[in-house]
Chain A
Amino acid sequence: MRYEMAEAVLHKYDAGAPGITVPVRLTAGGLSQTALAKLDTGASYCIFRRGIGEALGVAIESGTPQTFSTANGSFLAYGHEMMLATLGLESQATVYFAHDENFRRDVLGRFGWLQQVKLGLVDYEGSLYVSKYESDL
């Protein structure tokens, strides 16, 4: 089936670098900051390392605790409601921050981001196309 993405934002990323890196802006409690995150269709949620939340003034352990499974174990993170902006789109999202300060991943996953957008990817060229998801119904 032929399909066309209308009015998509084109984001160019370094196809030679690890992961698909996108710029993000997090806003909570009247403070904003920008950071980098990896697009991760295998992640269920948007999860960042602890320091990203701390830099935003978030009291990490005051959030909703959630244990996430990985291929060889699990880790604990805490969810916080905030505004998440990336690639020209912004929404309220539950963003999780890892409990362990040695956790070194920052990912945009399905709930909070992927489920709200249409995504096109040409990884060989380092081209990511994103537009707002709107139901056809």
Chain B
Amino acid sequence: MEHLIFKEEGVLIPRELFSQPQIIATELAQAGILPPQNGTAKLPLRQTETLDLSRELHWLQAHQQEFVGQWVALDGDRLVSHGTNAREVSAAARAAGVAVPFITQIDPPDELPFGGW
């Protein structure tokens, strides 16, 4: 899916979004440029590509014990950044050129099973 491109000079609207003013308004609101939309006016569900995180999951299986408690940013099966601050880990990944990083915090392996809410 195409998204608005935010630059210092302004906002670039991809041609694919010309006929979808709701998406444009939503992304402008999310960026703080327009006031938030009424929460009841949601965009409808639509089909998109299926996410494949198999390489990220493979990396986690192999390496998660080395990073317990930390945030990690992956690009496929490549570790891009890690640390205790999620915002900094994400920023480092984006600075390294990863547009859509996989972000997760490694939970302790001996964590008790979740018993529900």
Contacts and interface: CB of A to CB of B under 8 A. Distances in A.
Interface of A: 9, 18-19, 23-25, 27-36, 38, 42-43, 49-52, 54-57, 64, 68-71, 80-83, 85-94, 104-105, 116-117, 132-133
Interface of B: 1, 3-6, 26-27, 29-32, 36-37, 39, 42-53, 56, 71, 73, 86-87, 89-90, 94, 99-105, 107, 111, 113-117
Given A82-B30, A88-B47, A93 B42 contact: yes
A134 to B, nearest CB: 9
B107 A104 contact: yes
Contacts of B94: 31
Contacts of B103: 33-35, 51-52, 55
Most buried by B among A28, A31, A50, A92: A92
Contact of A91 (B32, B37, B44, B102): B44
B86 A23 contact: no
Given A31-B94, A86-B51, 13 more contacts: A25-B100, A29-B31, A30-B3, A32-B100, A33-B102, A34-B53, A34-B100, A38-B114, A42-B117, A51-B86, A52-B103, A57-B90, A85-B51
A32 B107 contact: no
Contact of B102 (A35, A64, A68): A35
Given A29-B32, A81-B36, A105 B50 contact: no
A33 B113 contact: no
Q: Which 4 A-B pairs have the closest CB atoms?
A: A51-B86, A55-B90, A92-B43, A23-B51
A64 B90 CA distance: 24
Nearest to A14: B57
B48 A89 contact: yes
A28 B27 CA distance: 7
